[in-house]
Amino acid sequence: MKAIRLICASALCLAYAAALWADAPKKNWTAPAQRIRAQALSDEIMSKHPELISVTFHGVPPGLEKVYTMFAGSFPERIGNPDDPDDVDIIEKGITIVDPRWHRTKDTVKKFVMMVPLRDAAGENVGGLVLAYKVPSPVARSETEFFAAASALRDELKPRIASHADLFKPAN
């Protein structure tokens, strides 16, 4: 009887692991072995902004075309995951998405997500920046305030990004 329970428990564990593995998105890019500048910026943002849950950088890595991916961020295991259509919209169209994350059934963590175009020192769009704020937040209460906070954070990065390629250079 114990052997049957052990076999059943093992089978359930294997089935669960297989289901998790099957749901994992296939990577469309592999980060270089060395830490890149965008990752250094991500780490710095997270250390200076305790109001954030996460920050991620999105775009097309140098040498590729139409391969939209998360190339840096506070979830290292997600680097190289293909971008969602809304990520591509902020990159391609230069739009901002204000997402209060109301009534999410699969994402139960309370947060306010801002998706803004990432700009270089010349003001050119070089990717997308996704910022997830804690709710309640010490920096904002309304959609307008979250928009202002995210825009200010993005604009602080602008003079530090020489170009799109600069984001992928080795970090110092």
pLDDT at res. 107? 78
What DSSP designation does 66 have?
Answer: S
**Is the pLDDT score of 22 beyond 60?**
no
The tokens for 89 are 């919209």
The structural domains of the chain, with segments of one domain joined by +, span 26-168
Judge if pTM exceeds 0.75: yes
**Averaged pLDDT of the chain:** 89
Question: Which pLDDT value is given to residue 15?
Answer: 43
Query: Can you tell me the distance from the alpha carbon of 137 to that of 8, in angstroms, rounded to the nearest whole number?
Result: 46
pLDDT for the residue 25: 76
Q: What is the pLDDT of residue 14?
A: 43
Q: What was the pLDDT predicted at 128?
A: 98
What local confidence, expressed as pLDDT, does residue 23 receive? 64
C-alpha–C-alpha distance, residues 104 and 92, integer Å: 26
Least confident of 70-74, 107-111, 142-146: 107-111
Q: How far apart are CA 104 and CA 46, in angstroms?
A: 24
What CATH number does domain 26-168 carry, 3.60.15.10, 3.40.50.2000, 3.30.450.40, 1.20.120.80? 3.30.450.40
Closest CA to 128 of 170, 171, 86, 159: 86
pLDDT at 2: 62
Each residue of 25-51: pLDDT tens digit? 799 999 999 999 999 999 999 999 999
Give the strand order in the sheet containing 97-99: 69-73, 52-59, 125-134, 111-119, 97-99
Residue 109 pLDDT exceeds 60: yes
Banded pLDDT at 18 (limits 50, 70, 90) = very low
Per-residue model confidence (pLDDT) at position 1: 58
pLDDT at 108: 80
Across 157-163, average pLDDT = 98
